[in-house]
Amino acid sequence: MIKELDTIVLTKDLAEYGLKKGDIGSVVHSYKDNKAFEIEFITGQGGTVAVVTLKVDDVRSMQDKEILHVRKLQAA
| pLDDT tens digits in sequence order for the chain, 76 residues long | 899 999 999 999 999 999 999 999 999 999 988 999 999 999 999 999 999 999 999 999 999 999 998 999 886 6
Q: Is residue 72 part of a domain?
A: no
Please tell me the predicted confidence (pLDDT) of residue 76: 62
DSSP state of 18: T
Helix (H, G, I), strand (E, B) or coil at 23: coil
Please tell me the predicted confidence (pLDDT) of residue 63: 93
Q: Domain limits at 51?
A: 7-56
Please tell me the predicted confidence (pLDDT) of residue 65: 94
Q: Is residue 1 part of a domain?
A: no
Domain total for the chain?
1
Please tell me the predicted confidence (pLDDT) of residue 74: 81
Rg, Å, the chain Cα set? 12
Do the strands 59-61 and 48-55 form a parallel or antiparallel pair, or are they unpaired? unpaired
Q: Is residue 43 part of a domain?
A: yes
